[in-house]
Amino acid sequence: MHLSSLCLVPAWLVRWAAPITGCLFASMAMAQTGAAVQPESASGWTKKPGWHLKQRGVAAAHPLASDAGYRILQAGGSAVDAAIAAQMVLTLVEPQSSGIGGGAFLLHHDGRQLQVFDGRETAPVLAPPDLFMLNGKPLAFQEVVAGGRAVGVPGLLRMLALAHQQHGRLPWATLFEPAIELADKGFPISPRLHSLLKAEPSLLKDPQAVAYFFNPDGTPLPVGHVLTNPGLAQVFRMLAKEGADAFYTGALAQRIVDKVQLHATNPGLLTMGDMQKYRPVVRDAMCFQHTATRPTQTVNICGVGPPSSGLITTGQLFGMLAHRPSIQGDMGSVEWLHDYNEAARLAFADRALFIGDPSFVQAPATDWNSLLGSRYLQQRASLIGQQRLGKAEAGSPDSSQAAYAPMPTQTEHGTSHISIIDGKGHAVSMTTTIESGFGARIMVSPGPRGGFLLNNQLTDFSFVPRDTQGLPIANRLQAGKRPRSSMNPLMVFADRPSPAESSPLMINMGSPGGAMIIHFTSQSLWAMLHQGKDAQQALNAPHSGVTQANGPLLLEKNQFNETTLNGLRERGHEVLLTDMPSGLQAIQRDDQGWFGAADPRREGWVSGD
Tens digits of residue pLDDT in 453-482:
999 999 999 999 999 889 999 999 999 999
Q: How confident is the model at residue 400, as a pLDDT?
A: 67
Confirm or reject CATH 1.10.246.130 for domain 310-354+362-403+547-578, answering yes or no: yes
pLDDT digits (tens, 9 = 90+) for 520-554: 999 999 999 999 999 999 999 999 999 999 999 99
DSSP states of 134-185 as a string?
Answer: ETTEEPPHHHHSSSSTTPPBP-HHHHHHHHHHHH--S-GGGGGHHHHHHHHH
User: Residue 499 pLDDT more than 90?
Assistant: no
- What's phi and psi for 607, nearest 5 deg? -120, 135
Helix axes 562-570 and 334-354, enclosed angle (nearest 10)? 60
User: Residue 15 pLDDT more than 80?
Assistant: no
Q: How confident is the model at residue 507, as a pLDDT?
A: 98
User: Residue 560 pLDDT more than 80?
Assistant: yes
Distance CA 193, CA 87 (A): 17
**Alpha-carbon torsion 29, 33, 37, 43, what sign?**
negative
| 454 contacts 434 by C-beta, under 8 angstroms | yes
Active site residue 415: yes
User: Residue 501 pLDDT more than 90?
Assistant: no
- Residues of the chain within CATH 1.10.246.130 domain(s) are 310-354+362-403+547-578
User: Residue 8 pLDDT more than 60?
Assistant: no
Instruction: Output the 3-class SS for 17-78.
Output: CCCCCCHHHHHHHCCCCCCCCCCCCCCCCCCCCCEEECCCEEEECCHHHHHHHHHHHHCCCC
**Secondary structure of residue 584 in the 3-state scheme:** coil
- What's phi and psi for 302, nearest 5 deg? -125, 150
Distance CA 454, CA 213 (A): 15
User: Residues 33, 122, 415, 564: which is the catalytic one?
Assistant: 415
Distance CA 338, CA 344 (A): 10
Q: Considering the chain, what is the average pLDDT of its residues?
A: 91
As a 3-state breakdown, the chain gives helix, strand, coil percent values, each rounded to 5, of 35, 20, 45
Q: How confident is the model at residue 156, as a pLDDT?
A: 99
Q: How confident is the model at residue 20, as a pLDDT?
A: 46
- Range name among 331-345, 377-391, 423-437, 492-506 with the lowest pLDDT average: 492-506
Q: How confident is the model at residue 55, as a pLDDT?
A: 96
User: Residue 1 pLDDT more than 70?
Assistant: no
Q: How confident is the model at residue 327, as a pLDDT?
A: 83
The angle at the Cα of 484, spanning 511 to 406, to the nearest 5 degrees, equals: 120
Structure letter (DSSP) for residue 365? G
- If one compares 188 and 326, the residue with the highest pLDDT of the two is 188
pLDDT digits (tens, 9 = 90+) for 149-188: 999 999 999 999 999 999 999 999 999 999 999 999 999 9
* Confidence class for position 43, pLDDT limits 50, 70, 90: low
Structure letter (DSSP) for residue 395? -
User: Residue 516 pLDDT more than 80?
Assistant: yes
Q: How confident is the model at residue 11, as a pLDDT?
A: 57
DSSP states of 210-230 as a string?
Answer: HHHHB-TTSPBPPTT-EE--H
User: Residue 497 pLDDT more than 80?
Assistant: no
User: Residue 500 pLDDT more than 50?
Assistant: no
Give me the mean pLDDT over the 63-76 stretch: 98
User: Residue 16 pLDDT more than 60?
Assistant: no
- What's phi and psi for 10, nearest 5 deg? -55, 150
User: Residue 57 pLDDT more than 60?
Assistant: yes
Q: What percent of the chain has pLDDT over 90?
A: 85
